[in-house]
């Protein structure tokens, strides 16, 4: 491994979309990285220097913690955790398969808690560090066919704010970014074709939506502030997105 002067950043769900965009920007800024996702080949294909890529199911806290320990041996303590891994399975609550609810809460909520716990004790001991949760505007307001997904993202909102208050005296920053509609693979997780078609029509009606690099720029701005400055949250959406 090459010695670096910037501290280690960890990104979950880094194989595509927002996670990959943030990874590229952090790498360009000189940070060593631990990238986590199920598709290790996609992580490796990013071709980023000073980067450890591991195929990890983020719901497997033991495997996630082991990967973080490995990266800290190579690059030093984690200074930034980006909880980006997420699943969006849209559906009407009266007919949606309950296994989809379970999957969303496992990935969007429980895995976020597990990853946070894996780095938080060290951050508190060092009196520094940043945890950035990539949420959704659905963590602030409701949308049709979003009941279970919105529930998982409202949970992220509550966790983020509660934890921020708990660790503020340790100089650990906890923040969230709330993207509106973004052109990523997230919609492909939904299994109801009519809902997908309606969502695509909604995006078209706005004349297009954000791209992953838009979110990455906002995330980098949040992280780049001095440790004594916490931009607690940013909501970012296409100008023509009405809700």
Is residue 200 a contact partner of residue 221, using CB atoms and an 8 Å limit? Answer: no
Backbone phi, psi, residue 8, to 5°: -75, 135
The pLDDT tens digits of the residues spanning 156-182 come to: 999 999 999 999 999 999 999 999 999
Q: Residue 36: its pLDDT value, please?
A: 98
Q: Which of 149, 178, 199, 223 is catalytic?
A: 149
pLDDT band at 188 (very low <50, low <70, confident <90, very high): confident
Whether 149 is catalytic is: yes
pLDDT in tens, 11-64: 999 999 999 999 999 999 999 999 999 999 999 999 999 999 999 999 999 999
């Amino acid at each position: 491994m090459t010695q670096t002067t910037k501290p280690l950043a960890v990104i979950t769900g880094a194989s595509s979309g927002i996670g990959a965009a943030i990874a590229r920007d952090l790498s360009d800024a000189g940070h060593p990285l631990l990238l986590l996702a199920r598709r290790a080949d996609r992580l490796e294909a990013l071709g980023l220097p000073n980067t450890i890529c591991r195929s990890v199911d983020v719901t497997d806290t033991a495997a996630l913690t082991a990967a973080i320990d490995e990266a800290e041996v190579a690059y030093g303590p984690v200074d930034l955790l980006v909880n980006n891994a997420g699943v969006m399975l849209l559906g009407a609550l009266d007919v949606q398969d309950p296994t989809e609810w379970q999957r969303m809460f496992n990935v969007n909520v429980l895995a976020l808690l597990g990853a946070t716990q894996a780095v938080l004790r060290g951050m508190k001991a060092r009196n520094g560090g940043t945890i950035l949760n990539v949420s959704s505007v659905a963590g602030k307001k409701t949308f049709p066919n979003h009941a279970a997904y919105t529930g998982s993202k409202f949970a992220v909102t509550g966790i983020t704010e509660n934890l921020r208050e708990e660790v503020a005296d340790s100089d650990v920053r906890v923040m969230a970014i709330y993207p509106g509609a973004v052109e990523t693979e997230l919609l492909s997780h939904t299994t109801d074709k009519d809902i997908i078609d309606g969502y695509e029509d909604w995006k078209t009606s706005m004349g297009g939506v954000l791209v992953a690099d838009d979110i990455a720029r906002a995330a980098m701005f949040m992280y780049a502030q001095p440790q004594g400055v916490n931009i607690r949250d940013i909501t970012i959406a296409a100008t023509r997105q009405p809700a």
